[in-house]
A and B are shown apart, each in its own frame.
Chain A
Amino acid sequence: MKTVITIVGQDRVGIIAMISNILAENNINILNINQNILEGFFNMVMLVNMSQAIISLKDLGQLLGEKGTAMGLDIKVQHEDIFNVMHRV
């Protein structure tokens, strides 16, 4: 199952490190990272594979959501299908 992680917030050191550590700890493989800085704002979309994950999508969303809030970031974790159905026919 592929999952999309979106991170938006004030740029700082260690955002990608924090996220990728949590993903590695939960056996989640990163497939694609698209990241840029827009007017000082960190903006990243990650595509990950959760088929071997040891955490559920819902729990990952909650975990990253809490970590994100602590770092001043808005982090969303969503099943990729919501984007597929809306943008691909």
Chain B
Amino acid sequence: MFTMKDVNETNRMIEENKLDIRTITMGISLRDCGHPDTKIFCQNIYDKITRTAEKLVKTGEDIEAEYGIPIINKRISVTPIAIAAESCHTDSYVAVAQALDAAAKEVGVNFIGGFTALVQKGYTNGDRILISSIPEALAVTERVCSSVNLGSTKAGINMDCVREMGEIIKLTAERTKDRDALGCAKLVVFANVPEDNPFMAGAFHGVGEPEVTIHVGVSGPGVVKRALEDVRGRDFSTVAETIKRTAFKITRVGQLVAQEASRRLGYPFGIIDLSLAPTPAVGDSVAHILEEMGLESCGAPGTTAALALLNDAVKKGGLMASSHVGGLSGAFIPVSEDAGMIAAIECGSLSLEKLEAMTCVCSVGLDMIAIPGDTSAATISAIIADEAAIGMINNKTTAVRIIPVPGKAVGDTVEFGGLLGYSPILPVSKFKSDDFIARGGRIPAPVRSLTN
């Protein structure tokens, strides 16, 4: 039997430290929806998604009410559209994105992920059509999220796609410039992408996944920060132990919610993604955890070590608490979505270069970073290449979600609203990488021994 202290601790985590279930994401396979006629294909995917996810939002709300734990988002991920739509006789998948958007609105989810292509080794025809459709698809839809995997440890880096994605990001920014390039906030470029990630914008339903599955993403940076306040001045063994214990408790709640959602919806449980996902709300920041370890401001020397410890301890604590862990699992460092990161940019302690170093040890990569609108496509491609190289060599997931905001320059601020937050524009190196990016081809897969 739990004690009154236990009850109060749990409720304090929820009410004061913003512990929540960040998302219940239903993964749905669209592999059986293929049809040469795009209209019929769109109808097939709309029908399948709305039928399968009919009760998703209601179930999430019921669990939230019964257990008293906020479940912030209910979302859907689908088979990469470049695969699912490949048999359509068409040169654009914009209509497919609109069908996904309509299905998301019908069932009441706030995002649907899977407008995706996996091109780490090269393009199929469907991949080419999908990637060229991204700017318009993200401009004319509201809830569709897009991702492209262009590198992996086993395949190397597709530098043709790296070059193309710089241009696609610029075009997406241009097509959504009336909303401060919001389209780019729904587009992620990956290396070593996980196929069961429940978090947007990079979620999709991988080809090795079952017909339908339920993934849950937990969060709770505020809870970790609060726990570390009790061990101020103690050594790092104590810090790691404290984070592990906290991650364990958070993940157990995620496991409970995942099992309940799976049981009530009648679909198998997939994975728990035990990520610390910040929001712009006060007390929900990953940067503040790093600062609690003794850094004056996030980005100060020592930040990479602090983040490495945090990311690892979160995984270790969470792994013991869940039967299946997957997705991105670790600490996210999205700039605009984290009050502490924003403050660190504003006070000058955090730069794009330091963020790049941090991505070597965080769970994803350069995330939600607003840069000047006049940054060239080649420079954006080169940033992507650097990030993909970090992922490829270190056998980890890396990603770039970068937003070149048209008409804005260093000194301006951009407001995305809601969970996407706001950010000052970060300066980008003025030195050109054009000839490097113009080469194209593939960077070969790395050797896996002699790892000095």
Q: Is the CB of A77 within 8 A of B68?
A: yes
- Residues of A contacting B65 with CB < 8 Å? 57-58, 61
Q: How far is the CB of B440 from chain A (nearest CB, A)?
A: 51
Q: Which of A45, A79, A88 contacts B66 (CB 8 A)?
A: A79
Determine if B68 and A82 form an interchain contact, defined as CB atoms under 8 angstroms apart: yes
Interface residues of A in 61-89 (CB under 8 A from B): 61, 76-88
Does A28 interact with chain B (Cβ within 8 Å)?
no
A47–B65 Cα distance when bound, in Å, is 17
Does B66 lie within 8 Å of A58, measured CB to CB? yes
Assess whether B10 is in contact with A83, with CB atoms less than 8 Å apart: yes
Return the CB mask of A1-31 against B: 1 if under 8 Å, else 0.
0001010000000000000000000000000
Decide: B256 and A85 in contact? CB cutoff 8 A.
yes
> Chain A nearest CB: distance from B66 CB in Å?
5
Return the contact of B2 from the options A61, A76, A77, A83 (Cβ within 8 A). A83
- In this complex, the interface size class of chain B, counting residues with CB under 8 Å from chain A, is 20 to 34
Pick the contact of A76 from B6, B9, B11, B255 — CB < 8 Å?
Answer: B11
- Asked whether A52 is an interface residue with its Cβ less than 8 Å from the other chain, the reply is no
At the interface, yes or no: B62 with Cβ under 8 Å from chain A?
A: yes
Complex CA–CA separation, A76 to B2 (angstroms): 16
User: Contact at A85–B66, with CB atoms within 8 Å?
Assistant: no
Bound Cα distance A79, B67 (Å): 5
Measured between beta carbons, the chain B residues less than 8 angstroms from A4 are 7
- The complex places the Cα of A79 from the Cα of B65 at a distance, in Å, of 9
Residues of B within 8 A of A32 (CB): 1
One digit per residue, 1 when the CB lies within 8 angstroms of any chain A CB and 0 when it does not, for chain B 55-91 equals 0000000100111110000000000000000000000
CA distance A2 to B3 in the complex (A): 15
CB-CB under 8 A for A78 and B6, given A85-B256, A86-B253 = no
Interface centre among A34, A61, A83 (most CB of B within 10 A): A83
Which chain B residues (247-300) contact chain A, with CB distance < 8 Å?
Answer: 249, 252-253, 255-256
**Residue in B closest to A1 when the chains form the complex, CB atoms:** B66
Looking across the interface, which residue of chain B has its beta carbon closest to that of A88? B2
* B62 close to A82 (CB less than 8 A): no
Question: For chain B residues 205-252, which have a beta carbon within 8 Å of chain A?
Answer: 249, 252
Q: A81-B67, A82-B68, A82-B69 are in contact. Are A87 and B2 (CB under 8 A)?
A: yes
Cβ–Cβ < 8 Å partners of A45 in chain B:
4, 7-8
CA distance A78 to B69 in the complex (A): 9
With A6-B11, A58-B62, A76-B68 known as contacts, the answer to whether A82 contacts B6 (CB < 8 A) is: no
Are B62 and A86 in touch, CB under 8 angstroms? Answer: no
Closest beta carbon of chain B to A39's beta carbon, Å: 14
Q: Bound complex: CA of A64 vs CA of B159, how far in Å?
A: 60
Contact of B4 among A34, A76, A81, A82 (CB under 8 A): A34
Output the nearest chain A residue to B13 by Cβ-Cβ distance: A86
Residue of A nearest to B69 (CB): A82
Which residues of chain B from 122 to 157 have a CB within 8 Å of any chain A CB? none
Given known contacts A6-B7, A61-B65, A81 and B256 CB-to-CB distance under 8 angstroms: yes
> In this complex, what residue of A is CB-closest to B62?
A58
Q: List 9 A-B contacts (CB under 8 A).
A: A6-B7, A6-B11, A45-B8, A47-B1, A79-B67, A81-B67, A85-B252, A87-B3, A87-B6
A→B interface (CB under 8 Å): 4, 6, 32, 34, 43, 45, 47, 57-58, 61, 76-88
Closest 3 CB pairs of A and B: A78-B68, A87-B6, A85-B252
